[in-house]
Structure 1
Amino acid sequence: MNVSEASTWMRSQLDEDSCLYQDDVVDYLVKEGAEALLRENSDGNLVLERKLLNEFRKLTQDEVVWVKPDKYWRFRVPEDEPGRDARG
């Protein structure tokens, strides 16, 4: 699985469920043998590689926000401020 395939899968999951948890993406990529698209963060947890995040951002542009406290993406609502991050 490459970056484009993974980001397209992420988008399809978001379209289907209206939200997408980072842990679910990590689990899916491990199951698919795509660990190259993951990295270990400073806390020792697996997270998405920057190149995958950038590709996903291209697919979702301004219509998706990241909810940092709960580590998931969701579609933007009118109450969201400009930018990629939503207020928890």
Structure 2
Amino acid sequence: MTVKDVAGYMLEEIKKNGSLPQVGLADIIKEKFGNEFVFETTHKTFVIDRKVLREFNKIKGDDIVWDKYRCCWC
């Protein structure tokens, strides 16, 4: 699995569902793709690794945006 695979998964989920909530997404990515695509914080929670987010931002285009109030991409 690669960073492109994870970013592609995220993009497909948005296309399929209309949005992609951030809550729980790092856990899903960890389970589906492995630990190398998430980062464990000092509070022992997982977040999406920056390399995945950078790749996602490259492929998502201008139509998909971050909704800070709903904490999701749509």
TM-score calculated relative to the size of structure 1: 0.70
What stretches of structure 1 move > 4 A for 4+ residues in a row? Answer: none
CA RMSD after TM alignment = 1.8
Q: Distance in 1 between matches of 2:70 and 2:43?
A: 16
- How many corresponding residue pairs? 74
Say whether 1:23 aligns with 2:29.
no
Q: Which runs of 5+ in 1 are unaligned?
A: 75-88
Question: With CA pairs under 8 Å and 6+ residues apart, which has the higher RCO, 1 or 2?
Answer: 2
In proportion to residue count, which structure has more strand?
1
Q: Which runs of 5+ in 2 are unaligned?
A: none
Q: How much identity, in percent, do the aligned residues show?
A: 26
Work out which of the two has the higher radius of gyration on C-alpha atoms and give 1 or 2.
1
Is the contact made by 1:38 and 1:48 (CA closer than 8 Å) also made in structure 2? Answer: yes
